[in-house]
Amino acid sequence: MSINLKDIHVEGIRHITSVDIEFAREFGYAIKLLAIGKLHGRHVEARVHPTMIPLSNPLAHVDGSMNAVVIDADATGRTMLYGHGAGMMPTASAVLSDIADLARNMISGTQRRVPILGVQEDHIRPIPILAMSELYTRYYLRFEAQDHPGVLAKIAGILGENKISIESVHQKGLKSNGKVPVVMITHTAKEAWVQKALAEILKTDAVVGDPMVVRIEENAQE
């Protein structure tokens, strides 16, 4: 498919804290920056963001300069490619590979012996990218809640009003400037519902600052 990068939702890791990494580990997850692409009929789901994945998933243990790509195919099932994604020699290898490919084209007097994207150009076509608001997944939500009676009920109530079901709630006793971290794991919900609920919660006096939102990718589990 032809791709317009502006259509792809992209988030970095800057907002992830050590607190979220610790919570994820307690729940049996690791947080990894994933680029996710899935075919859904006539649409493609394409997104890049920090994601919680089960510790049982091999991707959860790809650390340091290592990178990995997981491909799910109808006939072959799941295949994982794993190797160095940075460093002097891996980078040099990639550059020399491109130079060798150009040299082969020049020697043979041809162009694009291997088609762009590995597919013949007449088979490349535009496929709509699913709007991020239409995504359905599970969510990790962390709030800095005011240490007042009824705050938890207020947050849960707003989530419920927006059709978001809570799977578990964890409230740590540690206080900081009168605030208590409250973590919720949701059942599968629509992105649009979650964003609407968070906007409503921010308008109340129940929380301080922006909530932390990390999407959970269970489908990657073996």
When pLDDT is averaged across residues 190-200 and rounded to a whole number, the result is 97
Share the mean pLDDT of the chain: 90
Number of residues in the chain: 222
Mean pLDDT of 24-34: 95
Confirm whether 149 is domain-assigned: yes
**Are the CB atoms for 189 and 164 separated by under 8 Å?**
yes
Identify the residue with better confidence: 56 or 218. Answer: 56
**Helices marked H in 3-87:** 18-26
pTM for this predicted structure: 0.86
Q: With CA atoms as reference, report the closest residue to 197 among 148, 157, 162.
A: 162
Q: 123 phi and psi, to 5 degrees? A: -100, -5
Residue 206 in domain: yes
- How many domains does the chain fold into? 1
Supply the CATH number for residue 168's domain: 3.30.70.260
What is the pLDDT averaged over residues 14-22? 94
Residue 210 counted as domain residue: yes
Q: pLDDT grade, residue 13 (50/70/90)?
A: very high
Residue 219: predicted pLDDT: 65
116-173 pLDDT per residue, tens: 777 888 888 888 999 999 999 999 999 998 878 888 899 999 999 999 999 999 886 6
Lowest mean pLDDT among 5-9, 25-29, 146-150: 146-150
* Domain region containing 179: 132-216
Does the residue 18 lie in any domain? no
pLDDT at 117: 75
- Report yes or no on 208 lying in a domain: yes
Tell me what percent of the residues of the chain surpass a pLDDT of 90.
65
Of the candidates 106, 100, 197, the one whose C-alpha atom is nearest the C-alpha of residue 154 is 197
Which residues have CB under 8 Å from 216's CB, separation 6+? Answer: 29, 51, 52, 53, 137, 138, 139, 140, 185
Give the residue, 43 or 119, on which the prediction is more confident.
43
Assess whether pLDDT exceeds 60 at residue 221.
no
